[in-house]
Structure 1
């Protein structure tokens, strides 16, 4: 694609973003779009053992005609687990929190219309890899722009990340600053300065600095950012990833947090 065509498309996408807002009054005019980002527990590892998904889909994660996902080719399709199978494609994906979140929101009888989920999470990634200008950041923006092409409103970012940053004391020390900058930058580039963000405080870690990362997550003090705590959720056989039940519970907690934004 030529740089001229890309600039035209980007300008059109930016126009769509800047001329819509997060008001729920116009939900019927298009999809309510939610961006799913972070690392493996957002991508979904529920039901995975020895590198294979058991293919069990809990009732809370069943498909609905009102819930779509944006696939890797930027096309909308009916959302079915695993939501991230063609995004986090180097790893085996299973049940994540996305569908439990969407179905829970729909059950709350809020005026939201159809839901469009935009998977962007990549397993094993650190917060520094999500910095502005990096490949993951650019991919998130590109997929957000693509999601808006058929109409709709970006309602929130759902963020679950940090396990990889527990390996290094230096990364743990810088985590809060880096996370706040990521949230601020992505809102700025989406031209949605008050976009709700729902993040998850870790339940598990790859390294010894779990408490430091959790403290940073729980102390984020930005407007319209809510944190749900995964501590105590059931962990899978590998000691790192949430079980299917844990993923479902986190998705439901994120739905509860989102409804609070609407209140």
Structure 2
């Protein structure tokens, strides 16, 4: 199995509303939970009770589509509301991510690290020190995980920020994006993914579910092409539609049916027809 480490703050953890998009269910995609690989289900993260759709599920679905004989495990370690200082290499979030990744690497091959963070650092001139702080985090991650060459993929902040609701707390998001892009361009095996033309939940700060699906496709494009993604992909909405409308296997249909039954959305008679 291959694996991918997910780190950053809430837009990596996911706050997209689950009911707004079709679920992604694939028996070849797993998540690390309670020390075990389990079939992936959203929300991937449980950093908050409001966790929802992030970019990782569509990234994983695109990866599996391109690698039909492989399995992919996702290692969720993002923490909503975390500033880059809270990812300091001596502190809890960093140490937890390294611990989880090392555990996952006992029976998987780490192939990428996905990073999305910066909203909390988009004010009061914090962007001025962002580059050197990110550099220290990435360098230590590569050292701790013995991963000098795997792609470190950096998601840009959405251009909806600074305009409404809680997004008004991020007036310097463009400055942070400049630092993220500068870091990606200055370092090997680092790739930047634009947050342009993504849309927010009504809170004005969290990427909505449909945009997260497209964002995950951009992350995969950067991973697969080993290039920056500086503009929205022309066909990303169609790619998402194709991936999410794939025919489910018998095992996936049973999984989805049991989930709906457990949530009170399907009757016992209906679920038994699928299970039998």
Q: Which residue of 2 aligns with 1:3?
A: none
Q: Cα distance 1:159–1:112, how it changes in 2: closer, same or farther (>3 A)?
A: farther
1:57 touches 1:81 (CA, 8 Å); kept in 2?
Answer: no
Residue aligning to 1:139: 96
Higher relative contact order (CA 8 A, sep 6+): 1
Deviation at 1:157, TM superposition (A): 0.2
**CA positional deviation for 1:104:** 1.1
1-structure distance, mates of 2:13, 2:101: 17
State the 1:207 CA deviation: 2.4
CA contact (8 A) 2:16 2:52 kept: yes
Find out whether 1:36 has 2:6 as its counterpart: yes
Q: Return the index of the structure with the highest Cα Rg.
A: 2
Q: Is the 8 A contact 1:187 1:193 kept in 2?
A: yes
TM-score by length of 1: 0.79
1:127-155 per-position Cα deviation (integer Å, ceiling 9, x unaligned) = 11111111001000110011122x22000
1 CA distance for matches of 2:225 and 2:136? 24
- The reply on whether 1:107 has 2:69 as its aligned counterpart is no
**Equivalent in the alignment of 2:225:** 260
After TM superposition, the runs of 4+ consecutive aligned structure 1 residues lying more than 4 A away are none
In structure 1, the residue matched to 2:170 is: 207
Q: 5 Å matches for 1:82-161?
A: 82-85=43-46, 88-89=47-48, 91-108=49-66, 110=67, 113-149=70-106, 151-161=107-117
Deviation of 1:43 (Å): 0.4
Q: Quick check: 2:123–2:170 contact (8 Å CA) kept in 1?
A: yes
Partner residue in 2 for 1:58:
21
Gaps of 5+ in 1: 1-30, 48-54
Structure 2 residue ranges without an equivalent (≥5): 162-166, 228-276
Name the counterpart of 2:146. 191
**Structure 1 equivalent of residue 266 of structure 2:** none
